[in-house]
Structure 1
Amino acid sequence: MSPSRPPGAGAAGWYIGLMSGTSLDGLDGVLAHVDAGCCRVVGHVALGLEAALRSELLALNQRAGTDELHRAALAANALARRYAEAVAALLQAARLAPADIRAIGAHGQTVRHQPGMHDGTGYTLQLNNPALLAERSGIAVVADFRSRDVAAGGQGAPLVPAFHRQAFADPQRTVAVLNLGGIANLSVLRPGSDPVGFDCGPANALMDGWCERHTGRPYDAGGTWAASGQVLQSLLGAMLAEPFFALPPPKSTGRDLFHMDWLERALQAAGCTGAAPQDVQATLAELTAHACAQEMQRHAPDCRALVVCGGGALNAHLMARLAAHLPGVEVGSSADRGLPPLQVEAAAFAWLAHQCVAGLAGSLPAVTGARGPRILGAIYPA
């Protein structure tokens, strides 16, 4: 008798993963071949967001203005159309047809993340129109990855540790993976154990916002502006007094907490409202490095390898500050492990789409705190 196929084997094939993160610096799409044990990325596209859409998404996250339901629906439509452009570009570059793709994993744009709050369940909200994306692309779309975990009592985030295990785990030693997007999240991968994962605090969200406000540039390329400043210890202390940093896992966060008004309050509390802008930028970089290193020391003291992905991996100053806070730890980019930093999260959602199509759990209760593993996502057929 022939051996039975492993669970999910029939779902193997080409998948597209789409990710527009908290930093709002654009969207990344990947084309990957995924099966139960492997995710192989063969194509990548990065598209910017139109200035008007980016501003609207940021405003909706900050509860700015009126008629939010109407504006959110139109923003979701605009984002789905941009997603469809990324899909078309990936298909054209690979010379594939829509029928060749099993599904698109489209995360959407998070504008609220409040799990467990208000009524004991809370919610997480990602703007997206997967039905429109399915119509535009002719490909099945998997979306709404987070809400099932929240319904099961979990944080709904981070969802990438399960993929990090697939992509970066080492059977011989503990490896940590740090994603520096708008928010920083850490995965700890120990041989023979379920991953540990949680959000550490802000990463690019505050640094990008401060840089744009004072230089007109959307981000501090390479961290050169931050490197020109001096860390303001009083401001760093005021920011680190935020209770989130002392919480144990599971925990997740977003712009609901770490936004520019939060920074303004910290500046006032520290008496730094008149500080040189580059010194504030240096302090924001130090906040991210300090908070992430502190979580490493708390939850992965045995780890000697830190793999960094997300846009922050391209910030040389931030990478140097992480290394300074983690003596004895090899701090390197995910590119050194075969997956460039800007492709990791999009690849994770291609993998999560495969998990959904295969009927396999995509969540890790040890990470999110949910009552058990759950199949994540809703499918919108082609």
Structure 2
Amino acid sequence: MKNSATWQFTVLDRQRSLWGAAAVMAGFLGTCIPGLVLNFSVGIVIGAVLLVTLPLMYFMMTWSWRQETITLYHDRMESALYGTVYFSDIRKITRPWGANAPGVKLRLANRRISWYMTRSSRAVRQNTPEEVAIFGDFLRHLEAALSKQEQKQFKTSDVKTEDTHPSPAAQLSQINNHPNDNTSLIVGATFILLITMVVAMCATRGRKPDLARMKAASQERFYSNKQKLDELVARRMEKEGGAFLYTNDHAATIKLLPEISTGNPLNIELFQYTEASRDIEAILANPDSAQLDIYIIAGDSAIRRMRSDTSERQFFFRAYDPRQHIRPAGKPWGDTTGQYNDPVLDVSWTVTLKDTSHMLYAIDRSIPGISMMLSQIRLHPSFRFYMTGKVKQGMNEMAFTEAVITLNKLLHRNKVDTITFRITRI
């Protein structure tokens, strides 16, 4: 808690910017497509689009700005927007694309964060020169703190290695010494793109868009890619091995799959398969890059992904009861209003083993209140419990059988009849 200094400035919130951009695009499509379908004149369509999109762009730019406060310590910084950021977690520092200088993006071990300024007379809103100076001062102090941290680690390290990649401090120094400014170019290009899209769509208004055909083509592309992905997963499983499941849910299944986005932020039916197709094609282009995770599919089709975060021997647990609802934080006790809309009990956790001699201890200490949770199997017929693991992470048949025997000891200790459990594998 020594050698601390604090800076305050305003920055663009990246997540809010993305949502704002989605709102602008939704306003554009929601105005342009109906106008063309109803065969309005080009002038009316362009006027309606500008009337909707320009205010949305303005509110997007203003809503995206947030107040940031950063306190810098010798080994970390405390951010009002991102919380605690330890220097040892920083893997890479780059300049955000489209950012004014000064501006940085930090790639940490498990997330990415970014700050950047805007200085342009053509921007809807811009940082003041004082804020830019404050932020530049913060970056210089951060560079110095990172350099000290890296020098300290180098001196105390037993093994000296030559790293051909620049250190985070060196990367930040490069950014501090080479500022740039291209915000006005991006704002202008975005506006020109919107106008170009309006003109292009108006120029072809005589041919009404065949949305059904476009949807069918998108769906056909998705299922074609999915078939190729299934073949890829099958080949990977032959090489890496499958997975095991031990559960009292007799209708449950497991699958090994890479992470595929199924999001549709605009909630437009035409784009239902767009994100998934893009992810699948990226995986097919580099077949060995994607990690295969276990997906537990309960008997009622509720899916839970078991994400692996280590190469050590590891297996997973899931507790699921669709009839038990979790009271949200802040909801008063005894308030039953909308209780059936509260989230159901569905939790998962991981047990990592460096050896099998302490497996019983590891499972028994894997989550607080595990004995109470296991007792739910006996007390609630709808309670489902799952244990699963991958061969690639050391859970071969012998290891998983040992894990089943160990778990059964805990189940018997809580008077749970294990005759209702069964083992399956893929």
| Structure of higher RCO (CA pairs closer than 8 Å, 6+ residues apart) | 1
TM range, smaller chain: under 0.3
TM-score (ref. length: structure 1): 0.26
